[in-house]
A and B are shown apart, each in its own frame.
Chain A
Amino acid sequence: MCDLAAIINIIGKETARLILGLIGVLIVVVVNALVLTWVERKVSGHMQKRIGPKEVGPYGLIQPFADGLKLLGKELLTPANVDKPLYYLAPVIVFIPVLVSFIVIPFDGFLQVKDINVGILVILAFSSLSVLSILIAGWGSNNKYSLIGATRSVAQNIAYEIPLLLSLLPVAFMANSLSLRDIVEVQRQGWFVWRWQFFAFLIYFIAATAETNRTPFDLPEAESELVAGFHTEYSGMRFALFFLAEYTNIFIASAIATTFFLGGYLGPVLPGIVWFFIKTYFLVFVIMWFRWTFPRVRFDQLLNFSWKILIPVAFANLILTGGILKL
């Protein structure tokens, strides 16, 4: 057996923590996606008076593994006229923000890969990379549906990034810190949803649903008009990477909402990590609930809603919070 302690001594504690953390993150990403594909089908099934997957394993629990194996086994088709470097790059880039965001999320008092004092900025800065990958995918695919999907995604992202930022800022004001752990610790006196920031929570959640391209805001991949949107030309494991990233993005959006508004890992009796996952998966469930009960919005409605309602309200909330804090 190789000596773990010796290795840690050579590369240093911080590096070892980072490497172990990244391995843990990769495991969480895959397990989370496996669980969520199953949950989503079950939720959608029951909401539409169907059953969902039930043949493979008890309650269809092994269905995600079967799907994963199928995707792994599929041939990686590359259409003839794609822009090759961009086409190959897109599924890789889509994973960068996912991995980076996990580094700063506090799962528990001590379970965090690295507490960076500008933690929330790290997540917000890198989350813009996912729209970049959609853009590259749409462009590189050399397909009209992909390109329209990518254009829509860019417009949507510009519109919803602003309320997203503006809804998180008042919380940072109140906590007087940009570090995610500090923000959780401040909430020992009460969650921010109930302490003045309920509207910020609503705005954040709507904007996050739009940022993760979920129904009712899933215009970049609207099936009825764009086939599959930006990932029309992707098959096999490349498609699976987009899929994994989508589910992980939902998880991250919910985890940030949990951290900022719902007290993160704080809670009685049960250990912190259990509380964290309960709250996060509840929000994930709510996002799925949206998907199977709301119709898709029209594109002008989508943009008008952000520019004319969400942004002014978020600004008003920000100014009010700042003013009251300084009184």
Chain B
Amino acid sequence: MHLADVVFIIILLITMAGALITVLSGSIIYALMGLIATMFGIAGMYVYLNAPFIAMMQILIYVGAISILIAFAIMLAGPMFKRPKEWTKPVKFISGAIAAIVSFVLFFTVVMRTEWSGIKAAEANMTTKDIGRALFDRFMLPFELISLLIVVSIIGAIMLALYSRKEK
């Protein structure tokens, strides 16, 4: 086994463990910690794939901004210290199992049907400049659509906040 494989397995274990903690833990703060571990695992995967810029962006945005915002929301909303494990109830367990199996089958078929080709050497060395150029050139339309989506969600958030203020 190469050293690279060991690194890959460690990253994989961190990601999987984080995901399991997120789903299974009873405390919402632990779930958040698990989510952060998963984000770090994914960032590690980007480093492993020789994309340090995307890895750093992953940490900056998902750990530094989104997870911290989630934490803030938890603290504002009044956290539950000990939540009963609801997934042991039969109805929830069965519906959860069905959802999990269906999405697993879907992902599995997609993964198996796709023809995976290795990354070409030229593509592997994407610099920050290349990413910026691709974003504003080839992928201009999706990029602008995403910003439109964000604007819509901002307006929605402002409307919600305004209405709840007026009611008081």
- Contact A126-B59, Cβ < 8 Å, known A118-B128, A154-B71: yes
Q: List 19 A-B contacts (CB under 8 A).
A: A117-B128, A118-B56, A118-B128, A124-B60, A125-B60, A125-B63, A126-B59, A128-B64, A128-B65, A128-B68, A129-B63, A132-B36, A147-B75, A151-B72, A154-B68, A158-B65, A158-B69, A161-B64, A178-B128
A206 within 8 A of B: no
Chain B residue at minimal CB-CB distance from A129: B63
Binary flags per residue of A113-135, CB closer than 8 Å to B gives 1, else 0: 00011100110111111011001
A-side interface size class: 20 to 34
| Size of B's binding interface in residues, CB under 8 A | 20
- Contact A122-B56, Cβ < 8 Å, known A132-B36, A151-B75, A158-B69: yes
The number of residue pairs between A and B whose CB atoms lie closer than 8 Å in the complex comes to: 59
Q: Cβ of B53 and Cβ of A118 under 8 Å apart?
A: yes
The residues of A that contact B63 with a CB separation of less than 8 Å are: 125, 128-129, 132
- Contact A135-B71, Cβ < 8 Å, known A118-B52, A118-B53, A118-B128: yes
Q: Nearest Cβ distance between residue B82 and chain A, in whole angstroms?
A: 11
Q: Cβ of B68 and Cβ of A157 under 8 Å apart?
A: yes
Q: Nearest Cβ distance between residue B77 and chain A, in whole angstroms?
A: 12
By DSSP majority rule, is chain A's interface helix, strand, loop, or mixed? helix
A136 within 8 A of B: yes
Q: Nearest Cβ distance between residue B147 and chain A, in whole angstroms?
A: 16
Q: Nearest Cβ distance between residue A101 and chain B, in whole angstroms?
A: 13
- The 10 A-B pairs with the shortest beta carbon distances in the complex, nearest first, are A128-B64, A121-B56, A125-B59, A125-B60, A125-B56, A151-B75, A154-B72, A118-B53, A118-B52, A118-B56
The residues of A that contact B60 with a CB separation of less than 8 Å are: 121, 124-125, 128
Q: Nearest Cβ distance between residue B135 and chain A, in whole angstroms?
A: 16
Chain A residue at minimal CB-CB distance from B127: A117
Chain A residue at minimal CB-CB distance from B27: A83
The residues of A that contact B36 with a CB separation of less than 8 Å are: 132
Complex Cα spacing A151 to B29, Å:
13
Q: Nearest Cβ distance between residue B25 and chain A, in whole angstroms?
A: 11
The residues of B that contact A121 with a CB separation of less than 8 Å are: 53, 56-57, 60
A87 within 8 A of B: no
A155 within 8 A of B: yes
Q: Cβ of A158 and Cβ of B72 under 8 Å apart?
A: yes
Chain B residue at minimal CB-CB distance from A116: B52
The residues of A that contact B31 with a CB separation of less than 8 Å are: none
